[in-house]
Amino acid sequence: MRVLVIGAGFVGSAAATRLAELGHEVTVTATSEEKVARLKEQYGRAVVLRGSDAGQVAEAVGGQDVVVVTAGPSAQGSMTPEGRARTYRDVLVTTAENVVAACGPATRVVALSSLSVYGDAANHLDEITEESPVTASSDPSPSNFLAMEQTYAGLGERATVLRCGDIYGPGDPPIAEKVAMAHKFLGGSVPFSGEALLYRLHVDDAAAAVVHAVEAATSGTFNLTHPQVPPTNARLFDTLSNAQGLPPLEYRDEIASPARPISVARLAAAGFTARSSYDADLDALIG
């Protein structure tokens, strides 16, 4: 199949590599000529593309069988409501609108979303499934992820949306280092909820799930994380703070997240289970 991967970053590069190894004709995108030049050495086909540029998207999407959208907002721009307001709509919603407008009648889309779409709206349930209530928060993170999902839903059965936890992998700082950085650079204050469960997703699982969605021609919305229940943000982060002689973090609750277990039964029934994401050592750390 001809597959276009929009956003050859952390997940996009890993997914593109696996798809190419499986024999698919893969084209990757980046936002600068410099990045594209490097990508061409690896993949052969690479183009400059900003998802907010309708013309570039239309040219790249034309003739593709599947479009994989892994582009997402940068972490640096996500720490304040103002930063999220500046970037989330263009990166998520405008890209989705341009991709859907450019798709042919048989083109399929696989896109990454976020578990933050649930906010705290389903915390009264024993378990959160894809049918659970989603947040009505006006914060630019969940509101734009939801708007993005609704845009892709216009493709009907030709769209797969994977709702992910926090993605990490090689080159990503360890959690203890991130906690120390939050104290040093953010004044010990973070935008999320302390009571939220810390669902993380290893890049290997994220890429494998994308490849599975492409090859199995799945459709619909799926929760993508590990099946084990993780600790809360506060329980883990404050343990790590204490171990470094630092005070507990302040949790601003700007981006509410699920505090109840996330069901991955739908994705398991479709043939995929995340196997690299759960870190038993973190559970052992907090006892």
Residue of higher predicted confidence among 48 and 225 = 225
Mean pLDDT of all residues belonging to the chain = 92
Predicted confidence at residue 191, as pLDDT, reads 86
Predicted confidence at residue 71, as pLDDT, reads 86
For the segment 138-158, the average pLDDT, to the nearest whole number, is: 94
Pairing of strands 250-255, 200-202: unpaired
- Give first-to-last CA distance, the chain, whole Å: 47
SS3 135: coil
Least confident of 71-75, 143-147, 231-235: 71-75
Predicted confidence at residue 77, as pLDDT, reads 56
User: What is the tens place of the pLDDT at every residue in 21-37?
Assistant: 999 999 999 888 888 88
User: What is the tens place of the pLDDT at every residue in 100-127?
Assistant: 999 999 999 999 999 999 999 999 999 9
- Taking each helix axis from N to C terminus, what angle separates 175-185 and 233-243, rounded to the nearest 10 degrees? 80
pLDDT over 80 (residue 84):
no
Predicted confidence at residue 78, as pLDDT, reads 59
Q: Which residues contact 34 (CB under 8 A, 6 or more apart)?
A: none
Return d(Cα 152, Cα 212) in angstroms, integer: 18
Q: Band of the pLDDT at 75, cuts 50, 70, 90? A: low
Could you confirm whether domain 2-171+200-229+261-278 is CATH 3.40.50.720? Answer: yes
pLDDT over 80 (residue 20):
yes
Q: Band of the pLDDT at 80, cuts 50, 70, 90? A: low
Q: Band of the pLDDT at 81, cuts 50, 70, 90? A: low
User: Among candidates 211, 225, 207, which has minimal Cα distance to 267?
Assistant: 225
SS3 170: coil
Q: What is the pTM of this model?
A: 0.92
User: What is the tens place of the pLDDT at every residue in 182-202?
Assistant: 999 989 999 889 999 999 999
Predicted confidence at residue 130, as pLDDT, reads 98
- Domain positions in the chain are 2-171+200-229+261-278
Predicted confidence at residue 76, as pLDDT, reads 56
